[in-house]
Amino acid sequence: MKKERSELEQRLTEIVESNKNDKKSILKINDRLSALGVPYGEYNKIIINTKLLQDTDISLICVITEVLQSVLGNTIIDAMDYFSHNEINEAKENIKLIYQKDYLKLPITFEDVIQIDERSYSTKITIQMLVQMFNSQLINYDPRSQRGMRYKGNTRDGVVESPIVNQTSVKKIAQKILNQSYLADTITFNVFAYEHQPVTYDKENYTLTINEKSIISILDGYHRFQGQIKALNTKEDINFVSPLSIRVYDNTTAEQYFGQINTINPLSKERRKELQAEKKSDNVVKELQNNPNSELRGIRIASSRKANKEVGQLTTFSILSFGIEKTFNPTNYVEYREISEYLIKFFGYLIGFYYDEFIENPNKHTYINNPFMFLGYTVIAKRFYDENRELKSLKRVIDEIDFEDSELIEILESKRIYDNKKLQGELIKYFERTIK
């Protein structure tokens, strides 16, 4: 340590006291500590009684210091003023050992389990068990089968992703649990495995075992789950039990299920459309999102109404699906697969030719990377596909587009275009007329 521990304890005490009413910061601090292996609630104990810092393991002190810096900023505190790089790295490793005794590991067996069908089971779970599984990092948030991720950019951490959560709902649920007015409803797990059987059910003893190396995610009830964590942080001996549904779905089925049952905190229509993937064009876009060879994989296709260039989003699910439907119009599995493979190559060439405009400098003022230009790009892709053109000639076609054309600019700049399919259709027709 570069300075006396007592000096750091005093500074941490001042910071904790001055920020103890900043609920958003406390939530972020707990989230980041949890990601490092510190159980939810440890920081809350320090907020209630800062004298606990005197008896806190130096590794936890170090990790808290770095997390406070990350959340509150370098001007508040800098971990490097007190610890070396090696000490910080060692502290992160030690944290895992400190709390390892409280960690659960797979396999885990649930009792009194009723089998609904081969992929669906029903039982119950205590609030303590649920939170302990979460603290043990056994429960994941899978954005592919939820309402998605929120992406924010900052100078320290780059693009930071976090689950989309309605904190007002979480707070209300926690409060109702604490005052015993909350009517327990079902939380749904999805258990998935790549190379083995995810679960084993014993019909004679009514037990269900989640097998080792399985992946557990919250399929439904993420807000209720967060509410229970918040409630248990406030009162450790609370008595609360939730019905638990355990599903064994692949990723596609999990997404469809979530889109089907979501009603409490309504999804945006864009995200609902993405999850339910009712059209073949939707499935093509999902392939562009998920295929590891796709230049549009990951966050580059936004699930929201608008694309956020600050975090690297190039267009939206809705825009691409509409463009593919109006140009390629896949109607069966074979067409959907062929079109997906072709568009992965097409957009690979497109983004490769204009890497600076799409990836390196997306905020550069040019209409080539306007999210709605992807409607035009689907027209061009269809023309190349039908005429079996070499994709090497794509750059020449794009370079010939008149991005200063007043008709094109008027459509792209229209505020109505986000919700007006007729206007989007006019943009497609524009390119069908002008592309050779």
Residues 231 and 288 reside in one and the same domain = no
Query: What pLDDT score was predicted for residue 101?
Result: 61
- Show pLDDT as tens, one digit a residue, over the chain (436 residues): 899 999 999 999 999 999 988 888 888 898 788 778 887 778 988 998 999 999 899 999 999 999 999 999 888 999 999 999 999 999 988 887 777 666 788 999 999 999 998 899 999 999 999 988 987 878 876 554 444 444 444 444 444 445 556 778 888 999 999 998 998 889 999 999 877 899 999 999 999 999 998 999 888 888 888 899 888 877 878 889 999 999 999 877 777 776 665 544 455 555 555 444 457 888 899 889 888 889 998 778 887 778 887 778 899 999 999 999 999 999 888 898 999 999 999 999 999 999 999 988 887 778 999 999 999 999 999 999 999 999 999 999 999 999 999 999 999 999 889 888 899 999 999 999 998 7
Read off the tokens for 329. 């119009």
Residues 256 and 326 reside in one and the same domain = no
Residues 301 and 185 reside in one and the same domain = no
Residues 164 and 249 reside in one and the same domain = yes
Residues 113 and 244 reside in one and the same domain = yes
Residues 243 and 352 reside in one and the same domain = no
The conformational region for residue 310 under phi > 0 = left, psi -120 to 50 = alpha, else beta, is alpha
Residue pair 321/356 in contact by the 8 Å Cβ criterion: no
Query: What pLDDT score was predicted for residue 157?
Result: 42
| Residue finishing a domain among 204, 235, 261 | 261
* Residue 236 lies in domain: 108-261
Taken in order 101, 104, 105, 108, the sign of the CA dihedral is: positive
Strands 187-192 and 215-220: antiparallel
205: amino acid identity, one letter: N
Residue pair 5/96 in contact by the 8 Å Cβ criterion: no
Query: What pLDDT score was predicted for residue 364?
Result: 73
| Residue finishing a domain among 232, 261, 290 | 261
Query: What pLDDT score was predicted for residue 158?
Result: 42
Query: What pLDDT score was predicted for residue 260?
Result: 66
Tokens 């043990």 — which residue? 136
Residues 251 and 339 reside in one and the same domain = no
Residues 250 and 355 reside in one and the same domain = no
| Residue finishing a domain among 99, 132, 166 | 99
Residue pair 38/95 in contact by the 8 Å Cβ criterion: yes
**What's the total number of domains in the chain?**
3
Query: What pLDDT score was predicted for residue 276?
Result: 47
Residues 375 and 396 reside in one and the same domain = yes
Residues 254 and 288 reside in one and the same domain = no
What is the value of pTM for the model shown? 0.46
Residues 414 and 276 reside in one and the same domain = yes
Residues 275 and 420 reside in one and the same domain = yes
Q: What is the DSSP letter of 69?
A: H
Taken in order 79, 83, 84, 87, the sign of the CA dihedral is: negative
